[in-house]
Amino acid sequence: MLRVGLTGGIGSGKSTVARALRDLGAVVVDADAVAREVVEPGMPALAAIRERFGDSVFGADGALDRPALGRVVFADPQALADLEGITHPVIWARTADLIAAAPDDAIVVHDMPLIVEKGMGADYHLVLVVGVDAETRVERLVRDRGMTPEDAHARIAAQADDDARRAAADVWLDNNGTPEQLDVSVRRLWAERLEPFNENLLHGIRAARTDRLALTEPREDWPAQAARLVARIEKALGERAVDVEHIGSTSVSGLVAKDVIDLQIGVRSLADADDPDFVKALSRKGFPRVEGNDRDNGKDGTEWPKRFHGTADPGRPAHVHVREVGSPGYEWALRFRDWLRSDEAAREEYAALKHELLGRGLGVSDYADAKEPWFDAVHTQVTGARLDGDG
């Protein structure tokens, strides 16, 4: 089951995207609908709200007067905390029930306004953000919801800004255009990424990849992309992972690279990494084990053991190397990254090597092998590099 978080600021068109995904076959769990459901007449949460806030937040028909309750809680942090203490447990319990009721092969979309504000990105396989320029959102709120421009600006300012949303977004759905353009974007996303990702996830397999070598100019969003993957792995493994680090060329600012995020999981022992629960936890999070890639060419003349996981996501290639903390391979990966970060000449030399190998027409597998002599030649410089945190 692929779990997708869908979010966007007020007036962005998030509900339109949710409807389009439902029409395509997704099971949509609407957080706002759940929040309304748990305070319907007769629900235990409604009685608890009456006990805490009194009759003044209820209408003559006995239903909750949401605007009245809003005026109370948003002016009083303790009152807001009390309300959340009543409603959040039942909201999350109901949400869990709805997700659990979905078929095992479903694509479940959680339509949740506060994914970014609550730092929930690691709970999902992907986060989709519907993005619209602030002024366009104001125009829509005034036209479609009858807000004053001042109220619309205030509501937008109270939410996460676009920088925070972009950092959280695995997919940014631009809704500055027409409804037809948005619909095309959603349909392409469904066919090209969500459906294949779900199929790979269901079967525990790595996304298809090409052996054609391509280099990408440095991208400013590589660290943010890596941070999202790191958070998901940490969520999946908990204390079984000593640390999870962004390594490889995409972790080095300004360096040309294959568009692949390399991560390293540090474990106490490779026996931990071979535990079926460890393997299953990563696979369920979208990082299936890849057999046959269980060692690196050591720079000391030996082989350095590791485990390797790929990604089920066809839209974000990633390599996950699992190594024992303190082992030669673990240390070398970190020192190589930090050496490149600190040494401009080294970066330039490595970039030149990459372009030279690209010019030979090598495939990805041959490219990796062709870099080994250079790695051997710089080994002494790398091992002398100071790791972040070293004295």
The annotated binding site is made up of: 11-16
DSSP alpha helices (H): ranges in the chain? 14-24, 31-37, 44-53, 66-73, 77-101, 134-145, 149-157, 162-168, 179-189, 195-203, 222-237, 270-273, 276-284, 328-342, 344-359, 364-370, 372-377, 379-383
What letter represents residue 207's amino acid? A
Q: Are strands 27-30 and 295-297 parallel, antiparallel or unpaired?
A: unpaired
Provide the annotated binding site for ATP: 11-16
* Cα dihedral 109/156/88/280 (nearest 10): 40
Half-sphere exposure of 324 (CA within 13 A, CB side): 13
Residues 94 and 200: their CA atoms lie apart, in Å, by: 28
Burial of 311 (0-12, 13-18, 19+ CB in 10 A): buried
Residues 201 and 217: their CA atoms lie apart, in Å, by: 30
DSSP alpha helices (H): ranges in 3-133? 14-24, 31-37, 44-53, 66-73, 77-101
**240 Cβ contact list (under 8 Å, min separation 6):** 267, 272, 275, 278, 281
Residues 6 and 35: their CA atoms lie apart, in Å, by: 16
Between 77-101 and 44-53, two packed helices, what is the crossing angle to 10 degrees?
180
* Cα dihedral 226/232/238/243 (nearest 10): -10
Q: Are 321 and 262 contacting, i.e. CB atoms less than 8 angstroms apart?
A: yes
* Cα dihedral 298/300/302/210 (nearest 10): 20
Of the candidates 133, 91, 132, 87, the one whose C-alpha atom is nearest the C-alpha of residue 112 is 91
